[in-house]
A and B are shown apart, each in its own frame.
Chain A
Amino acid sequence: MSPTGFSACFMCVRVVKNKMHSLWIALSYTIPTILFIVGAMRLKSPKSARTGMWWIAIGMIIAVGATMALHPNIPWAPTVAVMGVGAGLGILVAKRVKMTAMPQMVAIFNGMGGGAAALVALATLQRSVPLSVFANLIATITLVIGSVSFTGSTIAFLKLQEWLRGPRLGRTVGSAITGCGLLAILVMGFLNIVGRQAPGLGAWIMIVAALEGVMLVLPIGGADMPVVISMLNALTGLAAAATGFLISNNVLIVAGALVGASGTILTQQMSRAMNRSIANILFGSFTQTSGGLGTPGEDGGVMIEASHEDVAMLLMYSRSVIVVPGFGLAASRAQQEVRQLMEKLLAHQVGVRFAIHPVAGRMPGHMNVLLAEANIPYDRLFEMDAINQEFKDADVALVIGANDVTNPAAKNEPTSPLFGMPVLNVDQAKKVIVLKRGKNPGFAGVENPLYTRQNTSMLFGDAKDSLAKLIQAIE
């Protein structure tokens, strides 16, 4: 074989090799993308959801493995060490957290993702290679969104964990600071995009955006926090998608867009279920007046208090009981007692069902998880639309630590701030028993006319205690 022929053959092998290489890249990123989408689709039923999650995890492993294989110049030792520590810490924390603390766990992990996106953007901006205007714009957006998500989620975590209380900062002072920060970000962002690579500008944008995240979430009350976490989750998704544009990686673009879109809709649905707009939640209004509206007993009706024995008797001689669990149940960790009560009643041939409002526990599906943890089978749990017609045939509606979601004023009182919010038709049951910690109005600070109705009896006290006494009385 002549030397030229030999070298030509060698070249053709190289071309094939190159083609193989790009095919590998394409495959190693296409397969994870497909696994992400198909896995996410499997979340539509509790039966398939867990395997769906495994599909997504496998996709993630392939994508990460491929990235490491495609970049042989990654410093292996420190990278693997850092990933090992991160994974170990992640598993440790996620395994040990209580189910009631779930929302803040999602928040803190979400913040980590936002922080990572912001750091990638920061490093890109500081790169000595000049960026195109578009890349600069994307990097700046990623930096801002990621930083807001990082600090916002951290504050959400601290507040839900009750390690931090919101300072009584005046609304005007707060919005003045937020406004100034926003202006500063816009100016610096513009400078960054037009003037390119001004040294240190990226870091300043990051700092101010981080401050904005703090200012945004700090004034928000615990009840609204899940909506905010959902929003921050969507934001981190968008930041991930933007990072994908930055490094031309389709897996990131697809995964980020998926999260951004579904998270945005979820946020909307959650705020709609609370009859609030997202702007209203973020920039405040009637949640701030908690406890200021007086006790329901003051004007008009009187609340009727019942004894544990009365209630136990009533429950035992009912045919069908609908339990309405709310945040109060989650707060006093009374899930096990609820299950025991259910079992006692089932033993007495009493039908027991659970009516779950979309935002019971203030997070869609959170209540289902808490009840499932206590081994209450989910086919006893009914969504609002499925059970609202059933209340009129129920003997007893047992409301445990739920308030606003049972307020009939939302249906027939146009002046109520809750008016229009979908509520459970608890008032249609023959008898209503309300387990409640005290006489104060609920999260929204709105009084509940349900409590002063003729067919309503109140059982005051901690939900866990009250339920334990009820169980005793039944025995």
Chain B
Amino acid sequence: MSNHLVTEGYIFILAMFVGFLLISKIPPILHTPLMSATNAIHGVVLIGALSLLSWAHGTLDLMIALLAVFLATLNVVGGFVVTDRILGMFHVRPGGEK
């Protein structure tokens, strides 16, 4: 269990570094899409909501879990569609002489 925890801690810290690197690589013009993209990514909490459903007992637990699934799905799907729309706006001018 505690071994597990240490590994998870490692993973967490390494992922934080990746996050720091990520933002330093991305130019400011793409910061809005980045914000929107990361917004969609943390919708992965849907997995948490789903695994909550797997052990939910009783009506209250079930309602809480289903509500969590609903909110997280909104976060994921809405986040992705908005990000895709934003990114679709970035055209390159064919030719591009200047």
Contacts and interface: CB of A to CB of B under 8 A. Distances in A.
B74 A90 contact: yes
Interface in A3-38: 36-37
Contacts of A187: none
A123 B61 contact: yes
B30 A263 contact: no
Contacts of A73: 54
Given A50-B87, A71-B51, A79-B50, A109 B74 contact: yes
Interface of A: 36-37, 40-41, 43-47, 49-50, 52-53, 56-57, 60, 63-64, 67-68, 71, 73-75, 78-79, 82-83, 85-87, 89-91, 93-95, 97, 99, 102, 105-106, 108-110, 112-113, 115-117, 119-120, 122-124, 126-128, 132, 134, 229-230, 233, 236-237, 239-241, 243-263, 265-266, 269-270, 351, 356, 358, 363-366, 368-369, 372-373, 375, 377-381, 383
A241 B48 CA distance: 10
B28 A377 contact: no
Contacts of B67: 119
Contacts of B92: 46-47, 377-379
Main secondary structure of the interface of B (DSSP, over half): helix
A255 B38 CA distance: 9
B27 A102 contact: no
Looking at A40, A75, A95, the one whose CB has the most chain B CB atoms below 10 A away is A40
B78 A94 contact: yes
28 contacts: A40-B41, A43-B22, A43-B26, A49-B33, A50-B87, A60-B80, A64-B47, A79-B50, A79-B53, A83-B73, A105-B82, A109-B82, A113-B39, A113-B79, A116-B68, A116-B72, A120-B48, A120-B52, A123-B65, A229-B35, A243-B45, A249-B48, A253-B8, A258-B22, A261-B22, A262-B38, A266-B23, A365-B28
Contact of B46 (A57, A64, A85, A351): A64
Interface size class of chain B, counting residues whose CB lies under 8 Å from the partner chain = 35 or more
Given A49-B90, A53-B37, A258-B38, A253 B66 contact: no
Contacts of A258: 15-16, 18-19, 22, 38, 41
B44 A90 contact: no
B24 to A, nearest CB: 8
B48 A247 contact: yes
A224 to B, nearest CB: 15
Contacts of B27: 44, 383
Contacts of A375: 91
A43 B15 contact: no
A97 B78 CA distance: 11
A377 B93 contact: yes
Contacts of B54: 71, 73-74
A144 to B, nearest CB: 15
B70 A265 contact: no
B29 to A, nearest CB: 5
B20 A261 contact: yes
Interface in B1-15: 1, 4-5, 8, 11-13, 15
Contacts of A383: 27-29
Contacts of B49: 116, 119-120
B89 A369 contact: yes
A343 B81 CA distance: 31
B81 A91 contact: yes
A261 B17 contact: yes
A261 B34 CA distance: 12
Nearest to A255: B44
Contact of B52 (A124, A233, A351, A363): A124
Contacts of A365: 28-34
